[in-house]
Amino acid sequence: MTTRTAARKKSIAKSAKSAEPAGSVKSAPFQAPARALEWVGEVDGWVEMIDQTRLPASCEILQIRTAEEIAEAIRRLSVRGAPAIGVAAAYGVVLGARSAAGNGLGSFQRALKEAIEKLAASRPTAVNLFWALKRMEEKAKSWIAEGREAREVASLLLEEARAIHREDAALCEAIGRHGAALLRDGETVLTHCNAGALATGGLGTALAVIYRAVQDGKKIRVYADETRPLLQGARLTAWELVRAGIEVTLLCDSAAPVLLRAGRVDAVVVGADRIARNGDAANKIGTYGLAVHARGQGVPFYIAAPSTTFDLSIASGRQIPIEERRPEEVTAGFGLATAPEGVRVYNPAFDVTPAALITAFITEHGVIRPPYRRSIAAALKRR
């Protein structure tokens, strides 16, 4: 895995070509946001990936040429966000397969299996990871069963991985298009965590709405919650938006209520990790509190998510398990001890926003409004 900084790099996504000087941000024209990762060249090519662990201090681009390196990049959070992890894993399968494509079918199949196992072990709870690996594996099997040669299967796998990437980008585009229609020129949006280009294979979900509105010529200002404990809002959302030339103001999570109360926000737009049949939605810790304040101040509260985020097997938010994460994220999140020894920690990764507080869901199929018991089922029949 080799590394270099975006400023010195030519082949990476257009938006990552040069660092904008800080002062020019306000008046910069819209530019497509940086892409989390992409495949460069043909089947003998490589993956270029923004090392998100180095953001925002520096934008380093990893050049990845093996499945092991993709697994390692997923494990160390160089790439994160369920859709982006799925895309990375698909490319990882290509890298694993092509490494043995010249050695005969038996060797090729072993290399493929090994790559998939390594990638599957990289982040055990990531649903999109397994979904992408399964899709790649089944395609490979069917092509091999058709009697195709290893080299050809490797090329076809690259096409499949690119299709996964393209499909994800198309989902983001559609979400952006439907969501942008909800925003008017001159409006101000508050968001939480990072549901942006860095988390997906495209423009993101919540941030796609903003990107598209800006592309459509609307002036949109953004407030970004820093999103403790891992600061995805500060490190990733603010970084993406600055790069895209969109005016973004960062704030501590606890300052959002006064902002809403002061009438300085026209809409809240966030992503989601899982949405129940009744519309209760799990998202990054802090989302529920925001939704309460938005409702109290009459500000629309939108959740932007692809239809795959809806889990119709779950009746309500009560059935969504909430992961409690390591205390150190709170007590030593910056390498420094910021809390005393002996203190207990409550560190839920997510909270559940009741459907009643959600103005609408923005999906690739369009905007879903209450009553959700009916509208969610109706919208998702289309998938």
For residue 44, give every residue at least 6 positions away whose Cβ sits within 8 Å of its Cβ, in sequence order, or none.
Answer: 98
From the list 242, 294, 305, 376, which residue makes contact with a copy of itself (rule: CB under 8 A)? 242
Classify burial at 165, counting beta carbons within 10 Å of its beta carbon; exposed 0-12, middle 13-18, buried 19 or more. buried
Contact segment (CB under 8 A) with a copy of itself among 3-11, 68-76, 249-257, 302-310 equals 249-257
Per CB under 8 A, 338 contacts a copy of itself: yes
Residues between 274 and 303 that touch a copy of itself (CB under 8 A): 285-286, 288-289, 292-293, 296
| Angle of helix 105-120 versus helix 67-75 axis, rounded to 10 | 10
For residue 291, give every residue at least 6 positions away whose Cβ sits within 8 Å of its Cβ, in sequence order, or none.
Answer: 268, 301, 353, 354, 357, 358
Q: Are 222 and 188 in contact (CB under 8 A)?
A: yes
User: Which C-beta is closer to a copy of itself: that of 298 or that of 340?
Assistant: 340
Classify burial at 294, counting beta carbons within 10 Å of its beta carbon; exposed 0-12, middle 13-18, buried 19 or more. buried
From the list 8, 10, 344, 381, which residue makes contact with a copy of itself (rule: CB under 8 A)? 344
Contact segment (CB under 8 A) with a copy of itself among 21-29, 121-129, 173-181, 356-364 equals 21-29
Give the interface size with a copy of itself as a residue count (CB under 8 A): 63
Q: How many CB atoms lie within 10 A of CB 288?
A: 18
Catalytic residue IDs: 273
From the list 107, 339, 366, 375, which residue makes contact with a copy of itself (rule: CB under 8 A)? 339
d(CA 35, CA 199) in angstroms, rounded, equals 9
Q: Which of 240, 349, 232 is nearest to 288 (CA)?
A: 349
Q: Whole-number minimum distance, CB 257 to a copy of itself, in Å?
A: 4
Query: Looking at 60-147, which runs of residues are DSSP E strands?
Result: 60-64
Per CB under 8 A, 326 contacts a copy of itself: no
From the list 228, 274, 277, 365, which residue makes contact with a copy of itself (rule: CB under 8 A)? 228
Contact segment (CB under 8 A) with a copy of itself among 6-14, 74-82, 138-146, 253-261 equals 253-261
Per CB under 8 A, 254 contacts a copy of itself: yes
From the list 259, 269, 299, 358, which residue makes contact with a copy of itself (rule: CB under 8 A)? 259
- What is the CB-side half-sphere exposure of residue 297 using CA atoms within 13 A? 22
User: Which C-beta is closer to a copy of itself: that of 220 or that of 285?
Assistant: 285
Residue 95, by phi and psi: left (phi above 0), alpha (psi -120 to 50) or beta?
alpha
Could you list the residues that contact a copy of itself (CB under 8 A)?
Answer: 20-23, 25, 55-57, 223-229, 231, 234-235, 238-239, 242-243, 247-259, 261, 285-286, 288-289, 292-293, 296, 330-331, 333-348, 351-352
